[in-house]
Amino acid sequence: MRTIKFSTPLQDKKYFDNVKRLLDSKKSLHGPGENIFKIKKELKKQFGFEHVHLTNSCTAAMEICALMLSLKKNDEVLMPSYNYNTTASSFVRTGCKIRYCDIKKENLLPSFDDFRKNVNKNTKVIIVIHMQGLCVDYLDKLKKFCLKKKIILIEDAAPALGTYLKGKSVGSYGDFATFSFHETKNYQSGIGGLLVVNNKKFRKKSDLVFDKGTDRTYVVSDPNYHKKYYSWVELGSCFRLPELNASYLQPQIKDINKVIDYRERLFKRYYENFFNWLKDEFIICNKYKHKDKYNYHAFTIILKKKEREKFLKYLKNQKIIAFISFEALHLSKMGKKWLTKNTKLKNTNEIIKKIVRLPMHNKLSIQEVDYISKKVKDYFKK
Ligand SMILES: Cc1ncc(COP(=O)(O)O)c(C=O)c1O
pLDDT band at 300 (very low <50, low <70, confident <90, very high): very high
pLDDT band at 326 (very low <50, low <70, confident <90, very high): confident
Query: Per-residue pLDDT tens for 256-277?
Result: 999 999 999 999 999 999 987 7
The count of other CB atoms within 10 Å of the CB of residue 209 is 25
Q: Is the CB of 158 under 6 A from ligand 1?
A: yes
Q: Is the CB of 87 under 6 A from ligand 1?
A: yes
Domain final residue pick, 233, 254, 275: 254
266 in the same domain as 245: no
269 in the same domain as 231: no
Domain final residue pick, 196, 223, 254: 254
> Is residue 332 over pLDDT 70?
yes
In a domain, 276, yes or no: yes
Q: Which of 36-50, 241-255, 275-289 has the lowest mean pLDDT?
A: 275-289
Distance CA 284, CA 293 (A): 18
Atom nearest to 59 CA in ligand 1: 11
96 in the same domain as 77: yes
Atom nearest to 326 CA in ligand 1: 16
Output the domain CATH number for residue 206: 3.40.640.10
Query: Per-residue pLDDT tens for 27-80?
Result: 999 999 999 999 999 999 999 999 999 999 999 999 999 999 999 999 999 999
> Is residue 226 over pLDDT 80?
yes
262 in the same domain as 250: no
318 in the same domain as 305: yes
122 in the same domain as 100: yes
Q: Is the CB of 193 under 6 A from ligand 1?
A: yes
In a domain, 4, yes or no: no
Indicate whether this model's pTM tops 0.85.
Answer: yes
Average pLDDT for residues 348-355, to the nearest whole number? 94
174 in the same domain as 75: yes
Atom nearest to 60 CA in ligand 1: 11
In a domain, 2, yes or no: no
**What pairing do the DSSP bridges indicate for beta strands 193-197 and 176-180?**
antiparallel
Atom nearest to 57 CA in ligand 1: 10
Question: In the chain, which residue ranges form alpha helices assigned H by DSSP?
Answer: 13-25, 34-47, 58-69, 85-92, 112-118, 139-149, 203-210, 216-221, 243-254, 256-274, 308-317, 346-351, 366-381
- Residue nearest ligand 1's atom 8 by CA: 58
pLDDT band at 279 (very low <50, low <70, confident <90, very high): low
Average pLDDT for residues 313-325, to the nearest whole number? 96
Please report, rounded to a whole number, the percentage of residues in the chain having pLDDT higher than 90.
Answer: 92
Q: Is the CB of 357 under 6 A from ligand 1?
A: no
278 in the same domain as 201: no
Res 231: pLDDT: 98
| Residues near 202 by beta carbon (within 8 Å), at least 6 away in sequence | 68, 175, 176
CA of 274 to the centre of ligand 1 (A): 29
Query: Per-residue pLDDT tens for 89-119?
Result: 999 999 999 999 999 998 999 999 999 999 9
287 in the same domain as 149: no
Res 284: pLDDT: 86
Res 288: pLDDT: 80
Res 276: pLDDT: 73
pLDDT band at 18 (very low <50, low <70, confident <90, very high): very high
Domain final residue pick, 190, 220, 254: 254
Number of domains in the chain: 2
Q: Is the CB of 89 under 6 A from ligand 1?
A: no
CA of 131 to the centre of ligand 1 (A): 10
161 in the same domain as 93: yes
Average pLDDT for residues 7-11, to the nearest whole number? 95
CA of 195 to the centre of ligand 1 (A): 12
Q: Is the CB of 247 under 6 A from ligand 1?
A: no
262 in the same domain as 248: no
In a domain, 145, yes or no: yes
Task: Choose the residue to mutate in 59, 194, 237, 357 for probing ligand 1, maximizing ligand atoms within 8 Å of C-beta.
Answer: 59
> Is residue 200 over pLDDT 80?
yes
pLDDT band at 278 (very low <50, low <70, confident <90, very high): low
Query: Per-residue pLDDT tens for 157-171?
Result: 999 999 999 999 999
- List the domain range (segments joined by +) for residue 179: 13-254
173 in the same domain as 29: yes
Output the domain CATH number for residue 351: 3.90.1150.10
